[in-house]
Every structure is written in C-alpha cells, then in structure tokens.
Amino acid sequence: MMTRKTFCFYFVDRGAILLAMFALVLGSAFYCAAADTVQVQLDTREAKPRAVETLTERAIFRDYRFAWRNIAQALESNSLDALEGSFAGDASQWLRQTIVSQQHSGLSQRYTQQNHKLKAVFYAPEGDVMELHDTAEYQLEFMDGGKIIGDQHIVQHFVVLMTPGADHWVIRQLQAVRQF
Amino acid sequence: MRHVIPICEVLCFLGVTAPQEIRAPQEVVAGEEASIPTTGSGKATLYLFGPGVSDKRDVSLGDDIRLPGADLQNAGQYFAVVCSSACRSASFFVSAAKPSSLTFMAHPSRVPVAEGDAISGVAIPFDKYRNLVLSPETVSFRLSAGKSSIFSRSVPAADGIAWFRAASGKSAGTLQVTASLNDLEMLRAVQQVASEPCNLRITGERNAKGILVRTEPVHDCAGNPVPDGTIVTFTATADGEKSTVDAPIKQDIARAQIAASGLAVISAASGVVMGNELRLGVR
C-alpha cells in the first residue's frame, strides 16, 4: 500500500516564539503574527515519470517554504538580498524586477498567512527538473509608503519549475495561472 | 475578491466622493497592450502590481487606462488598484505568448549501445519573454545516427513539458537527438559507445622482462570496438604468488608486462567479462 507522502510545517520566527512564551507565562491570550507563518503541504505521489526520492522530497519541501518566506520578506522590505539562493533564471529575474520597480515607485506588498498546497506533477527521468503545482492561499496587502491601499485574500495557482543546485533546489519558474 | 479601506468606504457611503468601478481585461497575452475601463470622474491614482512590475501613476476616471505591453511581459496575475477617495481593485491574468524558444535537456552524454530506456529528453517551450508556454503544444523528438533514424515520436506537452525515453542504438558513434516545435529545433548529441566487452581473448609471450600479454581487439557483442581507456585486468599466478596489472585499452588492445619467471597462469577480465586463461611455461 502506498504511504501518503505529505509534509506540513509552520514557520514561526524566533521573535514570535519568544513572544508566545512570554504570553504563556503571563497567562494571557497569545496572538501569533500572521506575517511569520508559511505553511506548506507537499504531495509527491503523482510525480511522473520518476518517483521522488525521500531526500529530494524533504529538500523540495524545505527549499520551497524558504523561498516563499524570502519572497514575502523581499517584497515587503524591497530588499534584493532576501532573494539570494532561492531563485534562479526567469523567476529570479522577474522578482528582482518587481523589487527594483517597487523601490522606484515607493510601493510594497505584504504576504501573510501563507498556505501552500504543493503537488509534484513531473519529475524528469534524470532528476534534473521538477514541475510542481501550488495552490497558494494568503492575505496580500498592497502598500504605498506605509499606507495600505488594498488588502485581499488571495487563492492563486502557480506552476513552478525547480532544479537542483549544489546543495539545494532553486525555483526557476514561478508563474501564476488562472487554473491548472 | 475585495479590498477595503474602511475610511474611504465610509466617505463613499456618505456620498462625499463619487465611487468608481474598474473592469479587468478578460484575456491578455504577454507583451500585448491592454486597457482597463473606468467609470466616474476626476483624477485618481492607478497602482499596478504584477510579476516584474509595480507601477503608480495618475489617471483620469471615466477614461480607459492604457497598460503598455512593456508592463505586461511576464505571464501571471496582475492587480490593478485605482484610488481616488476610495479604492477599487481588479485582477487579471497575462498568459504566455506563442513559443519562441525551446529548452531541451537530453541525457546522458555518453551511453552504451543497445541499452533499453537509456536515453531521455525533456523539452520545455518558452515565449520570447521567457514565460513557460502552457497551451497545448506538440513536441517532436527524433534520434538519428548518421542518416538513419532510430526513434521518432510526437509528444503533446503536459503542463508545459514534453519528454521521451528511448533505447540507445546498436552502433557506436554520435547520436543526434532533436526536439522540434513548429519552426523551432534544438539539437543535442549523445555519444554511443560500445557496451561491455564480449569474447575477451588474450595472447602472451615471454620476453627479457617477464611476460608480455595482450588482448585481441576488444569488441562488444555487437562488434563495436570498446572505447580506449576501458580497463582490462590481467592476473598472473606464478610460484604460488598472484600479481595483478590494470591496463587501459589503447586502439582496441590492452597490453601489460608481467614480471614472472616460472610457470605462469594468466587470465584477463574487463568489467564482468572474463577472458580465456593462458599458461606459459618456464623459458
């Protein structure tokens, strides 16, 4: 019987953990900053033609989650540094363009409460490229300076191409589509 | 989808300002101009967020807002927010243009002949702005050695990817692997080399230094010469002692000088293939 290959992870930064401990100590209700949460569920069962190895699955899960954390940081702080390492090729290029454009226009975006249902649909015979479908759900705020000009709950479908780097997987293509 | 700026909503409700509506374009192709019709009157600010773009500019309500193709080169979802006293937003998708390049990866670069599912290739079409083309496209794969075709298949791309897997040919030499889509063609070369040696035979003779052993020309079972550098291991047993020499094949033949004075039994092996046994007496 095939075992279900699903990972689930909640990323909470150190500040939020300390805040949580402080709140627990005080016995008061704790509010976890949504901005720090990136949840990813990965399903590799239907990847073809090559089955995804366990170590690869872990790496994809880890690197995709960090990539989205980095996207959120980069687009909120308008910092190119946050993109280092997680992206290559076309994905890296348009993300950088976005940030440079935001720097010029004084705009920014804030991604919060991220929830990604990630599904591997293609894994090349030689293991050198993987296509994934991500149904991402998050809260997105558009900001002009410090002012919020739009706040939307988004459900977005991404077609993702990832390739292996020296010690981690990088996103080469991250393209939102109307539907899969 | 909805966005909210409560203070603006309140002002609009009280009739302090004229609300405007914006309608997103239905379908936009990458690099093509689009427009967003608006209602209302007066000045407003347009914010455009999308892959590779984050723009802010003044617009006049009631007019169509023109979005230049240069702002819409990356496929994906775009968000337009128009603010005067209140903000309204709309989103739309930009899809990839027609394919203009093909990324093609073929593996391996070197493969033994007559091996099943040994060669594979993956082709991914992109438009001229490097967007992944997700519309149904059929990629043709062809494997040919010289003028003879050994494999040909048309594969409809699924989710922007077409791939194949095929057996290698029977003859050593360069195999041309081609992926084509409309007038796009990408060519890769795979070197087919002989498979494992077949019928490894050795001969030997004594000389002043001991025994000189050599193989007959080493071929695989299909008659292809085994590539230079393939190691043949010669093992000599003489006077109860065993000695081993690894020798690379050079111009189809592997040679080794073995220091042995008495009766010697010599054998050879390459990979999993054993050769004949040679017995050489005392000189």
Are residue A47 and residue A122 in the same domain, yes or no? yes
Beta bridge partners of B184: B181
- Residue B138 shares a structural domain with residue B212: no
Number of H helices, E strands in chain A: 3, 7
pLDDT at residue B232, as a whole number? 95
- What would the two tokens of residue B185 be? 């063609």
Q: Predicted confidence band at B14 (pLDDT cuts at 50, 70, 90)?
A: very low
In this prediction, what percent of chain B has a pLDDT beyond 70? 92
The CA–CA distances, whole Å, from B223 to B113, B175, B199, B233 equal 11, 17, 10, 21
Residue B146 shares a structural domain with residue B185: yes
* CA-based nearest distance B205→chain A, Å: 47
Is the model's pLDDT at B175 over the cut of 60?
A: yes
Both A67 and A27 in one domain: the answer is: no
CATH number at residue B71: 2.60.40.1930
Residue B2 lies in a domain: no
pTM beyond 0.90: the answer is no
Q: Percentage of chain A with pLDDT > 70?
A: 80
State whether the Cα torsion B24-B96-A90-B31 is positive or negative.
Answer: negative
Binning pLDDT at 50, 70 and 90, where does residue B281 land?
A: confident
The string of pLDDT tens digits covering residues B213-233 is: 999 999 998 889 998 999 999
pLDDT above 70 (res B151): yes
Lowest mean pLDDT among A19-33, A77-91, B110-124: A19-33
Chain B residues inside the 8 Å CB shell of A163: none
- Gap from B20 CA to chain A (nearest CA, Å): 15
Residue type, A61: F
Tell me if B1 is assigned to some domain.
Answer: no
A175 touches chain B (CB under 8 A): yes
Q: How far apart are CA B250 and CA B231, in angstroms?
A: 10
Instruction: With CA atoms as reference, report the closest residue to B233 among B205, B280, B199, B275.
Output: B275
Is pLDDT of B7 > 60?
A: no
Select the residue of A126, A149, A176 nearest B120 (Cβ to Cβ): A126
Residues A89 and A1 in one domain: no
Interface predicted TM-score (ipTM) of this complex, two decimals: 0.82
| Average pLDDT over every residue of A175-180 | 95
**Arithmetic mean of pLDDT, B151-178:** 95
Q: Within this chain, do residues B62 and B128 fall inside the same structural domain, yes or no?
A: no
Are residues B87 and B106 located together in one domain of the fold? Answer: no
- Per-residue pLDDT tens digits for A86-125: 999 999 999 999 999 999 999 999 999 999 999 999 999 9
Interface with A, mutate which of B8, B54, B78, B81 (most A CBs under 10 A): B54
Q: How many residues does this entry show for chain A?
A: 180
pLDDT above 50 for B126 = yes
From B193, B223, B239, the end of a domain falls on B193
Distance CA B4, CA A128 (A): 44
A12-21, B92-101, B111-120: segment of lowest average pLDDT: A12-21
- Sorted by sequence, the CB contacts under 8 Å of residue B33 that are 6+ apart come out as B66, B67, B68, B69, B72
Residue pair B76/B95 in contact (Cβ under 8 Å)? The answer is no
Q: Report, as an integer, the average pLDDT of A119-145.
A: 97
Q: Which two tokens stand for residue A149?
A: 């000009």
Question: Is the domain of A2 the same as that of A66?
Answer: no
In a domain, B24, yes or no: yes
pLDDT at residue B227, as a whole number = 87
- The structural domain count of chain B equals 3
Residue B27's pLDDT is 86
Question: Residue B165 and residue A173: Cβ atoms within 8 Å?
Answer: no
Is there a single domain that holds both residue A19 and residue A43?
Answer: no
> What integer pLDDT is reported at residue B260 of this predicted model?
79
* Confidence check: pLDDT of A26 > 50: no
Q: Which amino acid is at A89?
A: G
- A167 & A118 share domain: yes
Residue type, B49: F
**8-state DSSP, A106:** T
If asked whether residues B105 and B185 sit together in one domain, one would say: yes
Give residue B20's pLDDT. 58
In this structure, are A76 and A132 located in the same domain? yes
Q: Give yes or no for A90 touching B (CB within 8 A).
A: yes
Domain co-membership, A53 together with A32: no
Chain A hits for B4, Cβ within 8 Å = 151
Read off the CATH number of the domain in which A50 is found: 3.10.450.50
Q: Is the pLDDT of residue B59 over 50?
A: yes
Do B154 and B228 reside in the same domain of the chain? Answer: no
Number of other CB atoms surrounding residue B207 within 10 Å: 10
User: What single-letter DSSP state applies at residue B196?
Assistant: S
> Are both A101 and A27 inside the same structural domain?
no
Stretch A63-74: mean pLDDT: 96
Nearest Cβ partner for B105 among A128, A131, A149: A128
Would residue B67 count as lying in a domain? yes
Question: Average per-residue pLDDT in chain A?
Answer: 85
Instruction: Count the domains in chain A.
Output: 2
Could you tell me if B186 and B217 lie in one domain?
no
Minimal Cβ distance to B76: which of A102, A144, A175:
A175
Q: Which domain holds residue A14?
A: 1-36
In a domain, B213, yes or no: yes
- Least trusted range by pLDDT, from A61-65, A129-133, B4-8: B4-8
Reported as a pLDDT band with limits 50, 70 and 90, residue A52 is: very high
* Cβ neighbours of residue A153 closer than 8 Å, sequence gap 6 or more: A137, A138, A139, A140, B1
Chain B, 159 to 218: residues with Cβ < 8 Å from chain A are 159-161, 163, 165
The answer on A25 and A52 residing in a single domain is no
Q: With beta carbons less than 8 A apart as the criterion, state whether A47 and A121 touch.
A: yes
How distant is the alpha carbon of residue B264 from its chain centre? 52
| B110-112, strands of its sheet edge to edge | B110-112, B184-193, B173-181, B138-145, B148-156
Looking at the structure, do residues A88 and A164 belong to the same domain, yes or no? Answer: yes
Q: Is B75 helix (H, G, I), strand (E, B) or coil?
A: coil
Range of the domain at B43: 7-95
Shared-domain flag, residues A123 and A144: yes
